[in-house]
Amino acid sequence: MSRLFPEYRPGWETDQHRELRKHAREFFAKEATPHQERWVEQHGVDREFWTKAGAAGLLGLDLPEEFGGAGGDYAMHAVVQEELVYAHDQCFGFSVHSPIVAHYLYTYGNAEQRQRWLPKVISGEAVLAIAMTEPGTGSDLQSVRTTAVRDGDHYVINGSKTFISNGTHCDMVVIVAKTDPSQGAAGVSLIVAETDGLAGFERGRVLAKMGQHGQDTRELFFSDMRVPVANLLGEREGLGFYQLMEQLARERLIIGSLCAALAEAAILEAIDYSRQREAFGRPIGNFQNTKFVLAECKTEALAIKTLVDYAIAQYVDGHNDPMTASMAKLFAAEKCDQIVDKCLQIFGGYGYMTEYPIANMYTGSRVNRIYGGTSEIMKEIISRSL
């Protein structure tokens, strides 16, 4: 159930989704919200929080029960992501681990890989990351410079990656690397590195970011790092670029869900503040300008939610449409940023203080127009359908 629109029901929502939402809400209120300040100071959640989330059944929700998953659908991830936002979390790398990287392992992994990896992913014993972005390569993934040269039964991997979410805790990293640099996109492969005791694997500094200060975003370095050939995802080398393109819709949809919830959460905070804060002898919420701003924001928040939920329903029904996912991500990220900005303005000077959640929403919101593909890339994808 939406906090801002209690009568709203997404087309994909079932009783199972509603029960999951209640469970996730209670779990995050107890286990995440009280620890935000400490997690921000240490630049990451406690490692045991991952296993707590796993024990609570909040990881790998759309993976089969044979591996410990819930056997549900993609929309379950959207429910959990929304509840994380409502809980004012800015630290837990759920969206990378569960809806995104776990699905790479399940979709492209063989039977042995799935059996070896997925139970640990679902329990939280193994934390996932994906290493795409490089210091000189962002959205142009076919131009990555990290190389994986085969040497017998191993790949020797050299290169560096940046902006890696879950960089501190990751036990497994899906690495985007060139197995044949002469082939462009056709030379890109996805290789899973299991990091425990792995020679040549190095975690770089925690990156100082504008927002989301509690996320363990790091640089990663690979120096003659040997990874078994058996850890290649897919039947052969050279499929990585196409695997990435096929899975990016999931990443864009989860960002859309995050933005939809963030817009609502910002409005709820602004409404609550406007009822308490007085100016010139009356609550600021009684002034026409405040009411009109909030009315506009609420209208736009519903527009975000309906578009994102339409795209999710389409995906759940089996239509992996990159254009619709891109439209949802573009609109949600752009409009959410505007809504959070307007809501912060209602707080006046207090909106600039990080003790108020609206300040963290503001700094955390900006990246949604960048990662998962920039707004400009979204427009390029959408324009191809014109």
The model's pLDDT over 252-279, given as tens digits with 9 standing for 90+, comes to 999 999 999 999 999 999 999 999 998 9
Q: Is residue 229 domain-shared with residue 307, that is, in the same domain? A: no
Bridge partners of 128? 172
Q: Are residues 263 and 378 in the same domain?
A: yes
Q: Is residue 1 part of a domain?
A: no
Please tell me the distance from the alpha carbon of residue 280 to that of residue 284, in angstroms, as a whole number.
9
137 and 228 share one domain: yes
Residues 381 and 260 in one domain: yes
Stretch 338-347: mean pLDDT: 98
Q: Is 350 exposed, middle or buried (0-12, 13-18, 19+ CB in 10 A)?
A: middle
Judge residue 318's burial from the number of C-beta atoms within 10 Å of its C-beta, 0-12 exposed, 13-18 middle, 19 or more buried. exposed
57-74: per-residue pLDDT in tens?
Answer: 999 999 999 999 999 999
Looking up residue 219, the CATH number of its domain turns out to be 2.40.110.10
Are 170 and 291 in the same domain?
Answer: no
What does the DSSP 8-state code read for residue 207? P
By the 8 A CB rule, do 313 and 11 touch? yes
**Domain limits for position 27:** 15-126
Query: What's the N-to-C CA distance of the chain in angstroms?
Result: 35
Averaged pLDDT for residues 223-229: 98
My answer on whether 264 and 293 are in the same domain is yes
Give the pLDDT score at 138. 64
Average pLDDT score, the chain: 95
Residue 99 included in any domain? yes
Task: Using the 3D structure, point to which of 126, 147, 180 is the last residue of a domain.
Answer: 126
Q: Does 224 score more than 80 pLDDT? A: yes
Task: With a cut of 80, say whether residue 302 has pLDDT above it.
Answer: yes
Q: Give tens-digit pLDDT for 128-164.
A: 999 999 987 766 677 799 999 999 999 999 999 999 9
CATH number at residue 266: 1.20.140.10
Q: Are 172 and 126 within 8 A, CB to CB?
A: yes
Q: Given this model, what pLDDT does residue 136 score?
A: 76
| CATH number, domain with residue 62 | 1.10.540.10
User: Stretch 199-220: mean pLDDT, rounded?
Assistant: 94
Residue 145 resides in a domain: yes
Question: Could you say which of 126, 142, 164 is where a domain stops?
Answer: 126
Write down the pLDDT at residue 82. 97
Question: Quick check: 362 pLDDT over 70?
Answer: yes
Catalytic residue list:
251
- Judgement on whether residues 112 and 155 belong to the same structural domain of the protein: no
Whether 190 is in a domain gets the answer yes
Residue with tokens 């809501």: 343
Same domain, 57 and 138: no
- For the chain, what is the domain count? 3
* pLDDT computed for residue 375 by the predictor: 97
Do 141 and 102 lie in one domain? The reply is no
Q: What is the pLDDT of residue 139?
A: 66
**100 pLDDT above the threshold of 80:** yes
Distance between CA atoms of 97 and 307, rounded to whole angstroms?
A: 24
* Confidence at 290, pLDDT banded by 50, 70, 90: very high
Instruction: Write the CA distances from 363 to 82, 160, 163, 259, 354, integer angstroms.
Output: 18, 27, 16, 13, 10
Q: What is the pLDDT of residue 67?
A: 97
Return the percentage of the chain with pLDDT > 90, whole number.
93
- pLDDT for residue 2: 80
**Ordered alpha helix ranges (H), 43-170:** 47-55, 75-86, 94-95, 102-108, 111-123
pLDDT surpassing 80 at residue 372: yes
Is position 6 within any domain?
Answer: no
Q: Of 126, 160, 176, which closes a domain?
A: 126
